Amino acid sequence: MLFRSAWNLVTGYSDMAGSSFEIALGDMSGHVEWALDVLASLSCATIAPDASHIAYGTEEGSVTLLTPKRKQEWQFLIEEPICAVVCSAQGRHTLYGTRGGRVGCISLDGTRLWEMALAGEVAHVALSESGEVCAAIVHLPNEEGSLLVCFTGEGQVGWEHRFERRLLGLSLSPNGLYLATSLKDGTAMVYEVVTGEGAKSSRSEEHTSELQ
């Protein structure tokens, strides 16, 4: 796994036997600033867009937020394998997704703001800079399709759309106005996320929807 901000990269890895795990921070020149042992099976990692915080999840069900100086801000136990995690600027919001379909948001002080359950494995999550728009890709059980779900900052579902094929990538623009997804065949789709009272429906070749 490899994630980057404008200045730094973060990656998580294990030894050949999968018996020990580390998370590492580096810069765009390839210089490794530090590597930190993780005392659990590392499953995902991310870095905030401003490189202010690093978050990672484990198979044992914990989510941890660090500073670039390796100081732990908090650790939250979900007790379900973490499949996806993303962190907003200044670490204000950390969004996670689990193998059992749970999606939740944690604030900078380590308080869980909300959590909801979806049917399937959460493969990817995305978050706007303000935390007011969130999104997730859910791989449906016993099917080849995926569910794309967009949430408000309070954890309410704004809209969802089902795909017959597996979605492999997900990203939200910092302002939360645009959402992008990708497929294995290289197809990329961009959605306009429309919010606010009286807003017109968003437009896309495959989906028309509105986030209240």
Residue 28's pLDDT is 80
Mean pLDDT of 184-199: 72
Residue 5's pLDDT is 52
Pairing of strands 121-127, 2-4: unpaired
C-alpha pair distances (Å), 12 with each of 46, 191, 193, 203, 209: 9, 30, 32, 37, 36
What's the whole-model pTM score?
A: 0.86
Residue 200's pLDDT is 38
Mean pLDDT of 46-55: 92
pLDDT at 208 over 50: no
Say which range, 128-137, 159-168, 185-194, has the weakest mean pLDDT. 185-194
State whether the Cα torsion 187-163-78-76 is positive or negative: positive
pLDDT at 134 over 70: yes
Task: Name the average pLDDT for the chain.
Answer: 85
27, 18 in Cβ contact below 8 A? Answer: no
